[in-house]
Amino acid sequence: MTSEDLGLTYSEEEIRTFIEEAVAQKGTQYQPRFYAVTGSHVYGFDSSDSDIDVRGIHVAPAEEYAYLQTPVEEVTINMDGTTEGFETYADIDLRSYELKKFGSLLAKANYNVIELVFEAPTVMNGLPLEMDALEALIREHLPMNVPHAYLGMAKSNYYKHLDPEKPVGYDPRPKEFLYVYRGLLGAKYVLDHEDIEANVQTLATAVDGGNPELVEELINHKREIDEPTVPDALEQRTRAAIVEQFNALDALPTPDKSGYHDALDDWMHNVRI
Protein backbone atom coordinates (compact mmCIF):
# COMPACT_ATOMS: atom_id res chain seq x y z
CA MET A 1 0.00 0.00 0.00
CA THR A 2 1.22 3.49 -0.86
CA SER A 3 0.21 6.80 0.65
CA GLU A 4 -1.77 7.55 -2.51
CA ASP A 5 -3.98 4.51 -1.79
CA LEU A 6 -5.11 6.15 1.45
CA GLY A 7 -7.04 8.94 -0.27
CA LEU A 8 -5.44 11.65 1.85
CA THR A 9 -6.56 15.27 1.62
CA TYR A 10 -2.95 16.35 1.03
CA SER A 11 -0.69 15.24 -1.80
CA GLU A 12 2.66 13.59 -1.08
CA GLU A 13 4.36 16.76 -2.35
CA GLU A 14 2.38 18.90 0.09
CA ILE A 15 3.22 16.57 2.98
CA ARG A 16 6.91 16.61 2.04
CA THR A 17 6.87 20.41 1.94
CA PHE A 18 5.27 20.44 5.39
CA ILE A 19 7.96 18.08 6.74
CA GLU A 20 10.77 20.18 5.31
CA GLU A 21 9.32 23.37 6.81
CA ALA A 22 8.72 21.70 10.18
CA VAL A 23 12.01 19.84 10.64
CA ALA A 24 14.70 21.74 8.72
CA GLN A 25 13.93 24.97 10.58
CA LYS A 26 16.21 27.99 10.56
CA GLY A 27 18.98 27.66 13.12
CA THR A 28 19.17 23.87 12.89
CA GLN A 29 21.01 21.49 10.62
CA TYR A 30 18.42 18.73 10.94
CA GLN A 31 18.05 16.64 7.81
CA PRO A 32 14.63 15.02 7.25
CA ARG A 33 15.27 11.53 5.90
CA PHE A 34 12.37 9.08 6.18
CA TYR A 35 8.67 9.69 6.86
CA ALA A 36 5.50 7.63 6.58
CA VAL A 37 1.80 7.80 7.42
CA THR A 38 0.78 5.91 10.55
CA GLY A 39 -2.19 5.94 12.92
CA SER A 40 -5.77 5.06 12.05
CA HIS A 41 -5.12 5.24 8.29
CA VAL A 42 -2.74 2.29 8.62
CA TYR A 43 -4.69 0.56 11.39
CA GLY A 44 -7.65 0.29 9.02
CA PHE A 45 -10.23 2.31 10.95
CA ASP A 46 -9.76 5.90 9.83
CA SER A 47 -12.82 8.13 9.54
CA SER A 48 -13.56 11.17 7.43
CA ASP A 49 -12.43 13.44 10.27
CA SER A 50 -9.26 11.48 11.14
CA ASP A 51 -6.04 13.48 11.30
CA ILE A 52 -3.08 12.34 9.19
CA ASP A 53 -0.41 10.98 11.52
CA VAL A 54 3.10 11.23 10.10
CA ARG A 55 6.19 9.87 11.85
CA GLY A 56 9.77 9.71 10.72
CA ILE A 57 13.48 10.26 11.20
CA HIS A 58 15.70 13.30 10.97
CA VAL A 59 19.46 13.35 11.42
CA ALA A 60 21.43 16.01 13.31
CA PRO A 61 25.18 16.52 12.87
CA ALA A 62 27.01 13.97 15.04
CA GLU A 63 29.30 16.61 16.53
CA GLU A 64 26.32 18.32 18.18
CA TYR A 65 26.29 15.48 20.73
CA ALA A 66 29.64 16.75 22.01
CA TYR A 67 28.00 19.89 23.42
CA LEU A 68 26.03 20.40 26.61
CA GLN A 69 22.99 21.34 24.54
CA THR A 70 22.43 18.22 22.50
CA PRO A 71 19.95 17.93 19.61
CA VAL A 72 16.27 17.70 20.53
CA GLU A 73 15.05 14.11 20.59
CA GLU A 74 11.80 14.87 18.76
CA VAL A 75 10.25 17.56 16.62
CA THR A 76 6.47 17.63 17.04
CA ILE A 77 3.99 19.74 15.09
CA ASN A 78 0.21 19.95 15.56
CA MET A 79 0.24 17.22 18.22
CA ASP A 80 -1.62 19.33 20.80
CA GLY A 81 -3.70 21.69 18.73
CA THR A 82 -2.44 23.57 15.71
CA THR A 83 1.16 24.79 15.95
CA GLU A 84 1.55 28.46 15.10
CA GLY A 85 2.74 28.90 11.53
CA PHE A 86 1.40 25.52 10.38
CA GLU A 87 -2.30 26.37 10.06
CA THR A 88 -2.26 25.29 6.40
CA TYR A 89 -1.41 21.77 7.56
CA ALA A 90 -3.71 21.66 10.58
CA ASP A 91 -4.90 18.13 9.76
CA ILE A 92 -1.38 16.66 9.76
CA ASP A 93 0.23 15.60 13.04
CA LEU A 94 3.99 15.19 12.82
CA ARG A 95 6.42 13.43 15.14
CA SER A 96 10.00 13.39 13.87
CA TYR A 97 12.61 11.42 15.85
CA GLU A 98 16.28 12.32 15.80
CA LEU A 99 18.21 9.21 14.72
CA LYS A 100 19.51 8.48 18.23
CA LYS A 101 16.00 8.61 19.72
CA PHE A 102 14.68 6.47 16.89
CA GLY A 103 17.43 3.94 17.57
CA SER A 104 16.64 3.87 21.29
CA LEU A 105 12.99 3.10 20.51
CA LEU A 106 14.04 0.36 18.11
CA ALA A 107 16.30 -1.06 20.83
CA LYS A 108 13.21 -1.39 23.06
CA ALA A 109 11.35 -3.04 20.16
CA ASN A 110 8.73 -0.29 20.31
CA TYR A 111 5.85 -1.42 18.12
CA ASN A 112 5.09 2.12 16.89
CA VAL A 113 8.47 2.56 15.23
CA ILE A 114 8.64 -1.06 14.05
CA GLU A 115 5.28 -0.60 12.34
CA LEU A 116 6.73 2.53 10.77
CA VAL A 117 9.49 0.41 9.22
CA PHE A 118 7.29 -2.51 8.14
CA GLU A 119 3.82 -1.24 7.37
CA ALA A 120 3.50 2.51 7.00
CA PRO A 121 3.13 4.00 3.48
CA THR A 122 6.08 6.33 2.91
CA VAL A 123 5.77 9.96 1.89
CA MET A 124 9.51 10.73 1.98
CA ASN A 125 12.37 8.25 1.77
CA GLY A 126 15.94 9.44 1.46
CA LEU A 127 17.15 6.14 2.92
CA PRO A 128 15.71 3.41 0.67
CA LEU A 129 18.60 0.95 1.00
CA GLU A 130 19.07 1.66 4.71
CA MET A 131 15.37 1.18 5.50
CA ASP A 132 15.28 -2.10 3.56
CA ALA A 133 18.32 -3.22 5.56
CA LEU A 134 16.63 -2.18 8.82
CA GLU A 135 13.50 -4.16 8.02
CA ALA A 136 15.61 -7.25 7.30
CA LEU A 137 17.58 -6.71 10.52
CA ILE A 138 14.42 -6.48 12.65
CA ARG A 139 12.76 -9.41 10.91
CA GLU A 140 15.81 -11.57 11.67
CA HIS A 141 15.37 -10.94 15.40
CA LEU A 142 11.56 -11.06 15.79
CA PRO A 143 9.54 -11.59 17.93
CA MET A 144 11.81 -10.13 20.67
CA ASN A 145 9.58 -8.22 23.12
CA VAL A 146 7.26 -6.83 20.43
CA PRO A 147 4.37 -9.06 21.63
CA HIS A 148 4.91 -7.73 25.16
CA ALA A 149 4.71 -4.16 23.82
CA TYR A 150 1.46 -4.85 21.97
CA LEU A 151 0.00 -6.56 25.02
CA GLY A 152 1.06 -3.66 27.23
CA MET A 153 -0.64 -1.20 24.89
CA ALA A 154 -3.84 -3.27 24.90
CA LYS A 155 -3.91 -3.51 28.69
CA SER A 156 -3.16 0.19 29.14
CA ASN A 157 -5.93 1.25 26.78
CA TYR A 158 -8.38 -1.18 28.36
CA TYR A 159 -7.80 -0.04 31.94
CA LYS A 160 -7.71 3.60 30.89
CA HIS A 161 -10.87 3.69 28.76
CA LEU A 162 -12.86 0.44 28.97
CA ASP A 163 -12.82 -0.62 32.63
CA PRO A 164 -16.33 0.12 33.97
CA GLU A 165 -14.91 0.04 37.51
CA LYS A 166 -12.94 3.21 36.71
CA PRO A 167 -15.49 5.92 35.86
CA VAL A 168 -12.79 8.54 35.28
CA GLY A 169 -11.72 8.18 31.66
CA TYR A 170 -14.31 5.48 30.92
CA ASP A 171 -15.00 5.87 27.20
CA PRO A 172 -16.54 2.76 25.59
CA ARG A 173 -16.49 4.04 22.02
CA PRO A 174 -15.65 1.84 19.01
CA LYS A 175 -12.20 3.42 18.64
CA GLU A 176 -11.14 2.35 22.12
CA PHE A 177 -12.30 -1.24 21.60
CA LEU A 178 -10.48 -1.34 18.26
CA TYR A 179 -7.21 -0.14 19.81
CA VAL A 180 -7.36 -2.86 22.48
CA TYR A 181 -8.36 -5.62 20.07
CA ARG A 182 -5.68 -4.56 17.57
CA GLY A 183 -3.02 -4.74 20.28
CA LEU A 184 -3.98 -8.28 21.28
CA LEU A 185 -4.21 -9.49 17.69
CA GLY A 186 -0.90 -7.80 16.85
CA ALA A 187 0.83 -9.59 19.74
CA LYS A 188 -0.45 -12.99 18.60
CA TYR A 189 0.40 -12.28 14.96
CA VAL A 190 4.05 -11.47 15.59
CA LEU A 191 4.35 -14.57 17.79
CA ASP A 192 2.87 -16.85 15.15
CA HIS A 193 4.36 -15.30 12.00
CA GLU A 194 7.51 -13.47 13.21
CA ASP A 195 6.27 -10.56 11.13
CA ILE A 196 4.41 -7.28 11.66
CA GLU A 197 0.87 -6.39 10.60
CA ALA A 198 -0.79 -3.10 11.59
CA ASN A 199 -4.22 -3.32 9.92
CA VAL A 200 -6.82 -4.62 12.36
CA GLN A 201 -9.00 -6.06 9.59
CA THR A 202 -6.09 -8.09 8.21
CA LEU A 203 -5.13 -9.17 11.72
CA ALA A 204 -8.65 -10.36 12.51
CA THR A 205 -8.55 -12.60 9.45
CA ALA A 206 -4.99 -13.87 9.90
CA VAL A 207 -4.98 -14.62 13.65
CA ASP A 208 -6.62 -17.80 14.94
CA GLY A 209 -9.83 -16.88 16.71
CA GLY A 210 -9.90 -13.39 15.21
CA ASN A 211 -13.33 -12.03 14.34
CA PRO A 212 -13.32 -9.95 11.12
CA GLU A 213 -17.10 -9.49 11.18
CA LEU A 214 -16.89 -7.99 14.65
CA VAL A 215 -14.10 -5.66 13.54
CA GLU A 216 -16.14 -4.51 10.55
CA GLU A 217 -19.11 -3.71 12.78
CA LEU A 218 -16.91 -1.69 15.16
CA ILE A 219 -15.38 0.24 12.26
CA ASN A 220 -18.81 1.01 10.79
CA HIS A 221 -19.95 2.40 14.14
CA LYS A 222 -16.74 4.43 14.48
CA ARG A 223 -17.32 6.01 11.09
CA GLU A 224 -20.72 7.34 12.07
CA ILE A 225 -20.54 11.11 12.41
CA ASP A 226 -21.06 11.27 16.17
CA GLU A 227 -19.06 8.09 16.91
CA PRO A 228 -21.61 6.72 19.40
CA THR A 229 -20.89 4.35 22.23
CA VAL A 230 -21.03 0.69 21.23
CA PRO A 231 -24.51 -0.90 21.44
CA ASP A 232 -24.89 -3.32 24.36
CA ALA A 233 -24.98 -6.51 22.28
CA LEU A 234 -21.93 -5.49 20.23
CA GLU A 235 -20.10 -4.42 23.39
CA GLN A 236 -20.70 -7.83 25.00
CA ARG A 237 -19.42 -9.64 21.91
CA THR A 238 -16.38 -7.37 21.74
CA ARG A 239 -15.51 -7.85 25.38
CA ALA A 240 -15.79 -11.62 24.93
CA ALA A 241 -13.47 -11.45 21.89
CA ILE A 242 -10.97 -9.38 23.88
CA VAL A 243 -10.96 -11.91 26.72
CA GLU A 244 -10.53 -14.76 24.22
CA GLN A 245 -7.49 -13.14 22.61
CA PHE A 246 -6.03 -12.16 25.96
CA ASN A 247 -6.26 -15.78 27.15
CA ALA A 248 -4.76 -17.01 23.86
CA LEU A 249 -1.56 -15.09 24.62
CA ASP A 250 -1.08 -16.91 27.94
CA ALA A 251 2.57 -16.64 29.10
CA LEU A 252 4.70 -14.77 26.59
CA PRO A 253 8.18 -16.15 25.84
CA THR A 254 11.27 -14.51 27.31
CA PRO A 255 12.55 -11.93 24.77
CA ASP A 256 15.76 -12.76 22.94
CA LYS A 257 17.71 -9.73 21.70
CA SER A 258 21.13 -11.33 21.38
CA GLY A 259 23.05 -9.42 18.73
CA TYR A 260 20.18 -7.03 18.07
CA HIS A 261 21.64 -3.95 19.77
CA ASP A 262 25.03 -4.38 18.07
CA ALA A 263 23.31 -4.69 14.69
CA LEU A 264 21.28 -1.53 15.40
CA ASP A 265 24.45 0.37 16.30
CA ASP A 266 26.00 -0.63 12.97
CA TRP A 267 22.85 0.45 11.12
CA MET A 268 22.74 3.82 12.91
CA HIS A 269 26.41 4.42 12.14
CA ASN A 270 25.76 3.83 8.44
CA VAL A 271 22.86 6.30 8.47
CA ARG A 272 24.71 8.93 10.51
CA ILE A 273 27.73 9.03 8.19
Tens digits of per-residue pLDDT, 76-134? 999 989 999 999 999 999 999 999 999 999 999 999 999 999 998 999 999 999 999 99
Half-sphere exposure of 39 (CA within 13 A, CB side): 22
Q: Mean per-residue pLDDT for 135-140?
A: 96
Q: Using CA atoms in the order 38, 42, 44, 50, what is the torsion angle rounded to 10 degrees? A: 40
Per-residue model confidence (pLDDT) at position 50 = 87
Per-residue model confidence (pLDDT) at position 135 = 97
Sheet order of strands, 122-125 included:
74-77, 92-98, 52-59, 31-38, 122-125
Say if CB 194 and CB 114 are below 8 A apart. Answer: no
Pairing of strands 52-59, 31-38: antiparallel
Rounded CA gap, 19 and 98, in Å? 14
Q: Mean per-residue pLDDT for 248-262?
A: 93
Q: Mean per-residue pLDDT for 4-16?
A: 85
**Higher-confidence position of 50 and 147:** 147
Q: Mean per-residue pLDDT for 32-56?
A: 94
Residue 55 has pLDDT above 70, yes or no: yes
Instruction: Give how far the C-alpha of residue 260 lies from the chain's centroid of Cα atoms, to the nearest Å.
Output: 21
Using alpha carbons, list the distances in angstroms from residue 103 to 59, 259, 268.
11, 15, 7
pTM of the model: 0.92
3-class DSSP state for residue 189?
A: helix
Per-residue model confidence (pLDDT) at position 5 = 66
Say if CB 83 and CB 92 are below 8 A apart. Answer: no
**pLDDT band, residue 2 (cuts 50/70/90):** low
